[in-house]
Structure 1
Amino acid sequence: MPLNFRERTRPAPPAVPRLLLPSLVLAVLGYQINATMLSPALPDIARRLDTSSSLVGLSQTLFFLLAAVGQVTLARLSDYRGRKPVMLLCGVLLIIGNLACALAPDISVYLAGRILQGVSAAMFSLSFLTLNDLLPPAAFGRAAGIISAVNGGFAGVDAIVGGRLADTVGFRAIFLGGLVLSVVGTLAVARYVPAVPPKAAGSMDWLGAGLLALGLSGVLIGLAQGAGWGWTSPATLGCVVGGLAALVAFVLVQRSRSAGSNSVSGTGAGTDSRTPAADNATTVRPRTTAVIDIRLLASRRAWPLLLTVTLTLAGAFGALALTIPLFTQDAHAGYGLSATRSALLYATPASAIGVIGAPLAGYFGPRVGWRRTALVGSAGSLLAFAVAVPFRSEPWVLFAALAVLGLTYNGISITALNGLAVVSAPKDQQGALTGLTGACFGVGASLGTALASGLITSAGTDGATGAAAYTGAFVAALALLALAMVTALAVRPVPADEEAGRTERAPAAHV
């Protein structure tokens, strides 16, 4: 659909309603419980749908894969069509996905539902962008902290509740609860989220978006399935090599799309190359603009940020989601705990403390700078894990280190990196950089779990016994967090005046 360039000269956004933030919280919660509550119910899904655990595992891979793809494409689409219409699209996809999974007669319908749910992950990026469009910096920081806290679920309790529902009612109850939340959240968005004019001129680059989606899909599937397929198998190599080839093609296409743009500065629309004649024309055919300007991607505002996100998730998420649960439940190498005790002692506290850290990061981000806040999170995570690795044989030392990691990683880093992505991009490319940052969370998580799984498996194959079987995975996580600290230092600071006054915003007294 052609975009009327004159829409970009509309007055400042409307006044912020009281229920803006609660509406966005409900909208993202509708998605999030499908990510955090379902893990304990996976065996129940396999049993009730009479399918294999590998297909159930594939559903998880597809869910997080499409989450990465959805964040890139739909966040960028919102630059052209507006945030609210794309948020409503995400809500509808989530409702249909919940219905499909709750009523699924077999695994094929269930897989389709999980794919639709995954695409709706763009609701997180769209929420950050909407808050940035409507709120002044301090209010945006506080609200972004709350949204980031929701990103961790219900402080770790949701996983326990999910397991209880699976044991008593069955997995369908989880999706029915998600359905209720998604319907209420979508209606709240329709009623209480103001419609803000599009930020970018031109039209969506669907070729570039398709190449990016294909590239991310290939790389993520290869990383997620490599341990099962074999890292040198044709399937794994085909996915990874094919994905990398698609990403190279994406860069070439974006370079050609970016060639005609004027600027990537944060003070103007870098893709608007209109002439006076075009302004006077009744209808202007919009030019296809890059999904993300290559010059921005190559700048120190973008590539160090994307690397920091990827490396942070690879180190911290890989350890929290795989290495530490396996280690603490291993009777020969670790503590020999049950799955429930392991989760209560070494997973739930980190999630719960993250709910405290996220609002703190949102408070300090606009005041001391999002980059400085991100550096605090990276440094704290590195120090916490530097203590955990040599003293992992001491249960209470590991517990304390993971509690600190919950504050610095689950709380501060996640919030600060999301906030930094929003303020670092030019106004007409905020969806591009924010969506790509969201995708890097998925890439990093897949990389971290795949690397940890491969190192633990390899150590066992080579004859390592006891705690030595986990040494490589622990050290790799520490090295990844150290690299994340280096790349975080390389991020170019956003000038204070630009970070504080990027767009005209309405008063935010009610938020």
Structure 2
Amino acid sequence: MTTVRDQSSAPAVRYAALLTALVLAVAGYQINATMLAPALPDVIRRLHTDSDAAGLAQTLFFLFAAIGQVTLGRLSDYVGRRRMLLATLAVAVLGEAACVFAPTIEIFIVGRILQGVSAAAFTLAYLTLHETLSPRKFGGAMGIITAVNGGIAGVDTLIGGSVADSVGFRGIFLITLVITLVAIVVVYFRVPATEVSTGRMDWKGAALLGIGLTGVLLALNQGGSWGWTSPATLVLLVGGVLALVLFAVAERSARDAIIDTSVLASRRGWPLLLCTVFTLAGVFGMLNFTIPLLTQAEGEGYGLSATMSALLFLVPASALGAVAAPLAGHFGPRIGWRRSVLVGSVGTAAAFVPLVLFPQSSWITFAALAVLGVTYTGYLLTSLNGLAVDSAPADKPGSLPGLNGACFGIGASLGIAVSASVVTAVSGDGAPTFDALHAALWSSGGFVALALVAALLIKTPDDQNG
């Protein structure tokens, strides 16, 4: 695919306009991911459901985020980044409207699925920046876009908690609906069209991948309530694994494969992708499911309101991440993206230690989450994205970033699925207990430890050639 890079002499206003448009585009997805976290108890209460169903809604949101990043990122090669970006934002609008008016948890889940698809905005934003900016500007711009991935400096979670306390979760989706509509307008006028490739979309591969991921992750999410040996769980799990095997076989002979299997098999590929999956599983299971329940539970937790929960335990990580991410984008190319990933992985694992060991202390939890804002939200997320772009093969620049973007959604949905299953299994049919929430934190910590091991196994193209 032919790309056009902006030169350093290009007018700054063009760079600023493009970056503003892409920030709004990814914010359209990200605020749907972060603003709801402090409102989960309100969703459970108003839709007369339970934590298992609320966890399913979150799992499917991030699951379809993964599917959207792979399929829509690849589809954009043939229809154009800008056109695909506008389409994903339009789908998000439909999902937000569904959640505003949802009478039942089932309609709410459908809305969350539609919103999740718009996660492709991140992959599309990275590819657009890579194709239109000089390498000098790309690192800094990517850091700014990645900063949004941790939330809008914590303001989104704070607003989410306040809205949940005052008018309920529906108000959150009304706000996100307006923001996404604004993003559509700005993207239409400010994001340039890029060259497109010749070829055909690998719809067979996309279908097998979607079926496989859905089966496996739904089995993990529902296994605790259905029973791990129940027919429904086993059918989903076995069917999902079989679809993924067929997908791997089909991709080897596909002319325009949705995934580059040679990159996937190399140590610049699979350890990076595993690191992303395990990191997101650990942090999202903890931050977007367990922490809101722990901080708001009466008796078994801290007993805070949704607003105070967001202010004390979600805002610091997002705010510090918004500062650290651009710095990571600046230093990553200078010290090496692989080394940056290692630094972020070690810091994230270290921050999890007191969080897992002393969850009964609200102050320790607060401090640990603040540190994670720097090590995870800011540094590690930016470094993972930077390494994916830097390690991609020259003739297929979008292959590894698209896969890595999908792993964000896979990891997030996996982490929430496991955390929800652990809480349900330990609590039984009643409200979540402290022991159940503590067990969920241990499961998240296990994922982060696996992420650190994967980071140590990563090799860059230069490492492998040397």
1:488: which partner in 2?
455
CA contact (8 A) 1:329 1:342 kept: yes
User: Aligned pair in 2 of structure 1 residues 47, 118: CA closer, same or farther (>3 Å)?
Assistant: same
Paired residue type of 1:243: G
Q: What pairs up with 1:20-419 in 2 under 5 angstroms?
A: 20-42=18-40, 52-53=49-50, 58-104=56-102, 110-198=108-196, 200-257=197-254, 288-327=255-294, 340-419=307-386
1:215 deviates by: 0.8
Paired residue type of 1:290: A
Aligned equivalents of 2:423 and 2:310: distance in 1? 20
Identity of aligned residues (%): 55
CA contact (8 A) 2:65 2:116 kept: yes
2:417 to 444, 450, 456: 450
TM-score of the superposed pair, with normalisation by structure 1: 0.79
Paired residue type of 1:479: G
User: Aligned pair in 2 of structure 1 residues 445, 369: CA closer, same or farther (>3 Å)?
Assistant: same
Aligned equivalents of 1:250 and 1:393: distance in 2? 44
Give the total of aligned pairs: 455
Aligned equivalents of 2:48 and 2:211: distance in 1? 27
1:429 to 377, 396, 421: 396
1:325 deviates by: 4.6
Paired residue type of 1:92: A
TM-score of the superposed pair, with normalisation by structure 2: 0.86
1:232 deviates by: 2.4
Q: Which of the two has greater helix per residue?
A: 2
Aligned equivalents of 2:272 and 2:288: distance in 1? 23
Aligned equivalents of 2:416 and 2:303: distance in 1? 21
CA deviations on 1:219-246 (whole Å, 9 max, x unpaired) are 1222222222222222222212211111
User: Aligned pair in 2 of structure 1 residues 32, 208: CA closer, same or farther (>3 Å)?
Assistant: same
Please say which structure displays the higher CA radius of gyration: 1
1:410 deviates by: 1.3
CA contact (8 A) 1:79 1:430 kept: no
Aligned equivalents of 1:401 and 1:31: distance in 2? 26
Most deviating of 444-453 and 202-211: 444-453
CA contact (8 A) 1:75 1:434 kept: no
User: Aligned pair in 2 of structure 1 residues 43, 139: CA closer, same or farther (>3 Å)?
Assistant: same
1:412 deviates by: 0.9
CA contact (8 A) 1:69 1:119 kept: yes
Paired residue type of 1:251: A
Mind listing any 5+ residue stretches in structure 1 that lack a counterpart?
1-7, 258-287, 499-511
1:436 deviates by: 2.1
Q: Secondary structure at the match of 1:430?
A: coil
User: Aligned pair in 2 of structure 1 residues 455, 98: CA closer, same or farther (>3 Å)?
Assistant: closer
1:84 deviates by: 1.4
Aligned equivalents of 1:346 and 1:231: distance in 2? 33
Q: What's the C-alpha RMSD, in Å, of the aligned pairs?
A: 3.1
